[in-house]
Amino acid sequence: MIYYKKIYKSPLGDLSLVADESGLVGAWFLGQKYFERGLSEVPILGNHPFLDLASNFLDAYFSGQQPNPAALPLSAQGTDFQQRIWAYLQTIPYGQTVTYGQLAQELKVKSAQAVGGAVGRNPLSILVPCHRVLGSQGQLTGYAGGLDKKIWLLEHEGVRLDRSTKVL
């Protein structure tokens, strides 16, 4: 397997964008939890059309547009359960949030904790918007890239937060 990598400079810090011949494999903040996890080979730094698509998506996103993530060829590696959760994350509209419990109920999964584990291992930060998932009372819970980034992303999308970092 050959992986291609590009460093994307975002307002929140550098992202490592990785693709293979099938699509985008990952978008990780440098140093985040699970950074580049699951890659079987060291990625080659360089250009690739899928990396360009991801960069264009992120440019649009950070400039305040609402790019369509369905246009991105994704090739994240995960279990069938994780893939199911990640597919659902892609349906959460820009500027909206759901709770882990709502996600579990919607997908008929008995454990919101299992859902949380899959959400937390999402390898495609921002592109698959796991930052839009909250705790049961609307509180901000963990984010592999850091809670400060989750807050920034939600506020960037117009989600109003109160002082205790709950969604209003």
Q: What percent of the chain has pLDDT over 90?
A: 72
Q: What is the pLDDT of residues 55-74, one digit of tens each?
A: 999 999 999 999 988 889 99
Cα-flanking dihedrals φ and ψ of residue 157, to 5°? -85, 0
CATH number of 80-157: 1.10.10.10
Q: Active site residue: 18, 130, 140, 154, which one?
A: 130
Query: Hey, where are the domains in the chain?
Result: 4-71, 80-157
The angle subtended at Cα 153 by Cα 80 and Cα 50, nearest 5°, is 55
Residue 15: its pLDDT value, please?
A: 97
CATH code of the region 4-71:
3.30.160
pLDDT digits (tens, 9 = 90+) for 40-60: 888 989 899 999 999 999 999
Reply yes or no on whether 141 is catalytic.
no
**pLDDT of residue 39 exceeding 90:** no
